[in-house]
Homo-oligomer: A and B are copies of this chain.
Amino acid sequence: MSFPTETEGFQVDGPGNPPEFHRRSFKLKPVGDYDVDIKIDACGVCGSDVHTVTGGWGKQNFPLCVGHEIVGHAVRVGPKVTLVKEGQRVGVGAQVYSCGDCKQCREDNETYCQVNLINTYGSEWPGTGIISQGGLASHIRTHEHWVFPIPDALSTKTVAPMLCAGITVYSPLVRHGAGKGKKVGIVGIGGIGHFGIMFAKALGAETWAISRSRAKESEAYKLGADGFIATAEEGWEVPHRCTFDLIVNCANSSSGFDLAKYLSLMDVHGRWMSVGMPEEEGQVIKAQNLVSNGVLIGASHLGSRREMLDMLQLAASNGLEGVVEELKLGEEGLKEAMLRMKKGDVRYRFTLTGYDAVFG
């Protein structure tokens, strides 16, 4: 079995507005015994991609091929691979490696590995000088632990965004107790939030969608929401004070956000978990704001392999699929995706397809 050293894809050479994508070849990581080579069929477009290619998150390892909601087929597997079969349809998310050996990795917290955490794009594969490259490419190679078999019931196009947007909200939901008898809120009905509503409901929680206006109200109910709160309405927080067990804040901007009001929604020791990563400066928090209900504030980073497989199974069992708009891979499709994402002009996620037409 021969392994290639390069693949072909679309890179940006630095931040741009609009970003310019260039088709070219770049190096894959050196092959390892546990590695799986994947021929890519589709890739979702994540807010992280937009922040990265437009410079909102600052310095990155350019030139860079972004994209980390990848679905494809395993075309070669290393000799020690047991978790993935050649030919299997698989997904890759936003992380492609961790040390596997530290306390965090051993406890299913591999997305919090402190030793050797490799992002799907923009991290150096240690000791190689090679920067990891994402899914706007013909192929990707990584360790089997980070390659997830996709249940047959899920379509390639709609499952792609689950691999980052989905797991990003699924993990804090299950880690912080979403389930029967719990009142759970999802702030921000977008790429991440629309999965949050579906998953919270599927996990059995009383699920509330929390949005600025009522523009997405009927869609929120279709996604599974039991209730809807519009925060542009005077006194919106009053009937819900001290009642939520968990709110996952999926909003991608923190400007004009009256955090104290949101926190007043939480029951004693309720969890306010943020999974959006706004480009703005953070928010001022005083201990005084947290005292009246003992609320806990946190954030979350992706989810473990175990959670990823559980999420995909939950989606397959409940017929859940991402609400996606399909765009064709290529310089133009990519530019459109990034610009429209930046404006928030998408309901709720783009999936790039047409890989065969581009790469053959």
Which residues of chain A have a CB within 8 Å of any CB of chain B? 103-104, 107, 109, 112, 114, 175, 241-242, 267-269, 271, 274-278, 281-301
A163 to chain B, nearest CB (A): 18
Assess the A294–B298 pair: CB atoms within 8 A.
yes
A6 to chain B, nearest CB (A): 32
Assess the A301–B292 pair: CB atoms within 8 A.
yes
Assess the A297–B297 pair: CB atoms within 8 A.
yes
A109, A271, A297, most chain B CB atoms within 10 A: A297
Given A114-B242, A268-B109, A287-B277 contact (CB < 8 Å): yes
A237 to chain B, nearest CB (A): 13
A224–B287 CA distance with the chains assembled, in angstroms: 27
Extra contacts besides A104-B242, A175-B269 (19): CB < 8 Å: A104-B267, A114-B241, A274-B290, A276-B287, A277-B288, A278-B286, A278-B287, A281-B284, A282-B286, A282-B287, A284-B285, A285-B297, A289-B299, A290-B298, A291-B299, A292-B301, A294-B299, A296-B296, A297-B297
A299–B263 CA distance with the chains assembled, in angstroms: 12
Contact partners of A296 in chain B: CB under 8 A: 271, 296-298
- Closest partner residue, chain B, to A117 (CB atom): B292
Assess the A298–B299 pair: CB atoms within 8 A.
no
Assess the B298–A268 pair: CB atoms within 8 A.
no
A104, A241, A283, A287, most chain B CB atoms within 10 A: A287
Point out the residue from B267, B281, B295 that lies within 8 Å of A298, measured CB to CB: B295
Point out the residue from B109, B268, B285 that lies within 8 Å of A285, measured CB to CB: B285
Contact partners of A300 in chain B: CB under 8 A: 291, 294
A267 to chain B, nearest CB (A): 8
A75–B107 CA distance with the chains assembled, in angstroms: 56
- Closest partner residue, chain B, to A270 (CB atom): B298
Given A112-B293, A242-B114, A268-B104 contact (CB < 8 Å): yes
